[in-house]
């Protein structure tokens, strides 16, 4: 293999790895749930919050693990197993949908107290 090709290949690999590096962690928002109002469709909730960590009764009830930082609330990081709450979750955001798949009620429930 020619030396120039090896140098080019090495540079390409380094560039590809640098592109995969993660950016800054997401910042919390105090207004994260303000859009959630009775009548909002399930699809909009999932679009804005991402997939829930759990759903029950044929997706009539969905739950998201929620963390908190200095800026406010944030939905848990990616890379978790479906059905398992995320480790850092201080809260769970639970949404109940009506028969048409629209928000009926919702609640932010503290599941781990910080000391």
Residues 27-34: what's their mean pLDDT? 88
Residue 19's pLDDT band, with cuts at 50, 70 and 90, is low
- The pLDDT of residue 3: 64
Q: Which residues pair with 65 in a beta bridge?
A: 92
Place of tokens 């910042």: 27
pLDDT digits (tens, 9 = 90+) for 32-68: 999 999 999 999 999 999 999 899 999 999 999 998 8
Fold (topology level) of 25-110? Beta-lactamase Inhibitory Protein; Chain:B, domain 1 (3.30.1450)
Residues 99-110: what's their mean pLDDT? 96
Report residue 88: phi and psi, to 5°: -80, -5
- DSSP single-letter state for residue 2: -
For residue 77, is pLDDT > 60? no
For residue 93, is pLDDT > 70? yes
Q: Indicate whether this model's pTM tops 0.85.
A: no
* Interacting residues of 46 by C-beta distance below 8 A, sequence separation 6+: 52, 62
Tell how strand 72-75 and strand 61-69 pair up. Answer: antiparallel
């Amino acid at each position: 293999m020619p030396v120039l090709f090896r140098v080019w290949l090495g540079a390409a690999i380094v560039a590809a790895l640098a592109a995969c590096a993660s950016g800054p962690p997401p910042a919390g928002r105090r207004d994260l749930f303000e859009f959630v109002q009775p009548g909002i469709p399930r699809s909009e909730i999932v679009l804005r919050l991402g997939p829930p960590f759990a759903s029950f009764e044929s997706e009539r009830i969905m739950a998201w693990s929620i963390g908190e930082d200095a800026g406010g609330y944030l939905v848990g990081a990616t890379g978790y197993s479906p059905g398992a709450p995320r480790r850092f979750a201080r809260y769970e955001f639970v949404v109940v949908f009506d028969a048409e798949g629209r928000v009926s009620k919702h609640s932010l429930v503290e599941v781990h107290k910080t000391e």
